[in-house]
Chain A
Amino acid sequence: MNTLRRIPAVFAFEWRRALTIPRMGWMLALAALPPLLLFLIRMAARSDPPPDVAAVLVYVLSPCVACMMSVFLWSTPAVSSELEGRSWTYLSVRPHGTLAVLLGKYLVGVSWALPVGLLSAIIGSLVITQNDLPRLIATQCALATLSCVAYGAVFLLIGVIAPARAMVLGVIYAIVFEVAAAFIPAAINLLTIQHRLRCLLVRWMGMDMSIAEESPVLLAYFGEESAAWHVFLLIVMTAGYLVVAALLLRYREFTAAAETAT
């Protein structure tokens, strides 16, 4: 409870610091990228793509790419920026200071990435198709929200595990797990956020999965569980990542002192 009281202070302070024109420009550019690419695809196709194809295109560019990149830029350097800036010491000698900063920065990251995800999902849906728009927009917005929340926690954890190499490890994780492993129809893809989001897309958009029912490989790819189960697992995974990050923060030694190499 003591930590919870301090999180709003961190949230408000970091938000104020983040409100700079270059940063807002970057976020707007990230939000504009998916609609722009979808517009180009639409122009090249010269017709409405089939509803399932349109849904997949918006999903890949918005909840996957735009959201993942936004939270990556915010959450991954949460600890390393304080260590590199040598401001960590001031936080670590305050009651629950580092935990409050960790969680406060996580919320700042999610709250900055969310508008990017929602904006790109809504405009992207409007650009790519006119079919079943309310359902498409609602699904993509829900997926964008879950994507920001879950990826934010993963990247935060990576930042705590290896603050000195956080950005590099974050990119490696995204490529190896969320891009490559998530598309391998084996047990490993069950551990990825990408797999859960993809299964939710299929269910919430009511996509035709009759082919998958005849193929165990495709079944492993799209899953058999209900949408509620996937949402539940995403929430559990997010909470798990945050708890592990908090525990690591509690027991590991982080110090900005130049002589400390631990």
Chain B
Amino acid sequence: MLIELNHVTRLYGIVIGVNDITLDLPEGAHGLLGPNGAGKTTLLNLITGQLRPTIGSVRVLGQSPRGNPELFRRIGYLPGTEGMYADVSALEWVTYLTRIQGYSAAEAARLAEQALERVRLTEHMHRKISAFSRGMRQRTRLAQAIAHEPDFLILDEPFSGLDPIARHTMTTLLQDWIERKRSLLISSHVLHEIESLTRSFLLISGGRLLASGSTDEIGSLLSNMPSEVRLKVQSPRQLAAELLQGGLAETVSIEGERDLRLTTVSAGRLSEFLGQAISEGRYLITEMRSTEDSLQDVFNSLMKLHRGLA
């Protein structure tokens, strides 16, 4: 098992960082998703042994991570904060960290060069880190995490602050990593960033694990949740009445002359009905928008489900 969390809770005084998470994660690639402040970094700090759980236990690759040199040989970690020495070159920095990993000077330099080549920084590896762009720094940080060929790579928001080209480069590098059958846990607050890497997600919010599984599994969990739809229609009152009568809307709210806001548990049936109504010319709908397409809304829905409010 890659990660085993058993009722893990981490408190900072009276503030809850992570709240009673139980989880068994098999080897492979997984995405840790959650809005800012959800507890992702705390969870990663627990997994990398930097923090002790207040309650519960953490095991990574079958071992307790706290102060465990054996485990540290097998994991690579890219923290969410930069923390690089600006006054040294990329090669010096990666070599230094690889030496601390336990390699001889010559071996560490060889592994560092190899890692920097993999992140496509060979050309620039003798330049000072202070002269690097954000994307180059991220790739250097990735190089230090993979230089010692770990079995399990943990990345905390690796796409943060990257431009589209740098994002694409990072995605390609991580896809290579996954293709080599190595395990990966990648945190992000943006779903599409990690959708191209894995279909296995952990959804965390407010320190709680709201859901875990594939996108389909999470989708089916949400299928019975009411979703909100906004329409701009010429005769909103008439449409609202018809939707309520037909059982296609749970709640309706008319705002102004043309705005209709409704919630439905039958999104499929609703779109079928509206499509037909438009084609028959019964309603003139100029705009239709689902407000629940952002990750935050998915979290809000899951949070309601979690609290039994849905």
Expressed in whole angstroms, the minimum distance between the Cβ of B134 and any Cβ of chain A is 15
Do A257 and B100 form a contact, CB below 8 Å, given A93-B49, A97-B72? no
CA of A2 to CA of B70 in the docked complex: distance in angstroms?
Answer: 11
CA of A261 to CA of B97 in the docked complex: distance in angstroms?
Answer: 26
A5 nearest in chain B by CB position: B102
> A57-65, A81-89, A118-126: which one contacts chain B?
A81-89
A184 part of interface (Cβ distance < 8 Å):
no
Do A9 and B99 form a contact, CB below 8 Å, given A17-B87, A85-B85? yes
CA of A94 to CA of B100 in the docked complex: distance in angstroms?
Answer: 7
A229 part of interface (Cβ distance < 8 Å):
no
Do A255 and B69 form a contact, CB below 8 Å, given A6-B100, A9-B99, A95-B101? no
Partner of B79, one of A6, A89, A96: A89
B154 nearest in chain A by CB position: A93
Which residues in B have their C-beta under 8 angstroms from that of A200?
Answer: none
Expressed in whole angstroms, the minimum distance between the Cβ of A5 and any Cβ of chain B is 7
Expressed in whole angstroms, the minimum distance between the Cβ of A78 and any Cβ of chain B is 15
Which residues in B have their C-beta under 8 angstroms from that of A91?
Answer: 97, 100
Q: Please state if B45 and A260 are interface contacts (CB–CB under 8 Å).
A: yes
Q: Please state if A260 and B72 are interface contacts (CB–CB under 8 Å).
A: no
Q: Please state if B72 and A259 are interface contacts (CB–CB under 8 Å).
A: no
Do A262 and B79 form a contact, CB below 8 Å, given A87-B85, A90-B144, A250-B67? no
Which residues in A have their C-beta under 8 angstroms from that of B92?
Answer: 13, 16
Partner of A257, one of B45, B67, B88, B108: B45
Q: Please state if B42 and A256 are interface contacts (CB–CB under 8 Å).
A: no
A100 part of interface (Cβ distance < 8 Å):
yes
CA of A250 to CA of B68 in the docked complex: distance in angstroms?
Answer: 11
Q: Please state if B101 and A94 are interface contacts (CB–CB under 8 Å).
A: yes
CA of A69 to CA of B19 in the docked complex: distance in angstroms?
Answer: 46
Which residues in A have their C-beta under 8 angstroms from that of B88?
Answer: 13, 16-17
Interface size class of A (residues with CB under 8 A): 20 to 34
A101 nearest in chain B by CB position: B100
Q: Please state if B42 and A259 are interface contacts (CB–CB under 8 Å).
A: yes
Q: Please state if A6 and B72 are interface contacts (CB–CB under 8 Å).
A: no
A130 part of interface (Cβ distance < 8 Å):
no
Q: Please state if A257 and B85 are interface contacts (CB–CB under 8 Å).
A: no
Which residues in B have their C-beta under 8 angstroms from that of A257?
Answer: 41-42, 45, 50, 80-81
B258 part of interface (Cβ distance < 8 Å):
no
Which residues in B have their C-beta under 8 angstroms from that of A93?
Answer: 48-50, 72, 75, 77
Interface residues of B in 20-56 (CB under 8 A from A): 37, 41-42, 45, 48-52
B278 part of interface (Cβ distance < 8 Å):
no
A92 part of interface (Cβ distance < 8 Å):
yes
Partner of B84, one of A10, A16, A87, A97: A87
Q: Please state if A255 and B13 are interface contacts (CB–CB under 8 Å).
A: no
Q: Please state if A2 and B102 are interface contacts (CB–CB under 8 Å).
A: yes
CA of A93 to CA of B83 in the docked complex: distance in angstroms?
Answer: 14
Partner of B100, one of A9, A254, A256, A258: A9
CA of A196 to CA of B48 in the docked complex: distance in angstroms?
Answer: 43
Which residues in A have their C-beta under 8 angstroms from that of B67?
Answer: 250
- Give a binary string over B88-112; 1 marks a CB under 8 Å from any A CB, 0 the rest: 1000100011011110010010000
Q: Please state if B96 and A13 are interface contacts (CB–CB under 8 Å).
A: yes
Q: Please state if B52 and A253 are interface contacts (CB–CB under 8 Å).
A: yes
- Give a binary string over B105-124; 1 marks a CB under 8 Å from any A CB, 0 the rest: 10010000000000000000
B269 part of interface (Cβ distance < 8 Å):
no
B82 nearest in chain A by CB position: A86
Q: Please state if A89 and B51 are interface contacts (CB–CB under 8 Å).
A: no
Which residues in B have their C-beta under 8 angstroms from that of A17?
Answer: 85, 87-88
Which residues in B have their C-beta under 8 angstroms from that of A2?
Answer: 69, 102
B236 part of interface (Cβ distance < 8 Å):
no
Give the B-binding residues of A (Cβ under 8 A). 2, 5-6, 9-10, 13, 16-17, 85-97, 100-101, 250, 253-262
8 closest cross-chain pairs (CB), A and B: A86-B83, A95-B69, A9-B99, A87-B83, A89-B79, A86-B81, A93-B77, A95-B72
Give the A-binding residues of B (Cβ under 8 A). 12-13, 17, 37, 41-42, 45, 48-52, 67, 69-70, 72-73, 75, 77, 79-85, 87-88, 92, 96-97, 99-102, 105, 108, 144
Q: Can you list 26 A-B contacts (CB < 8 A)?
A: A6-B100, A9-B99, A17-B87, A88-B83, A89-B77, A89-B81, A91-B100, A93-B77, A94-B100, A94-B101, A94-B102, A95-B70, A95-B73, A97-B100, A253-B50, A253-B51, A253-B52, A255-B50, A255-B51, A257-B42, A257-B45, A257-B50, A259-B17, A260-B42, A261-B12, A262-B12
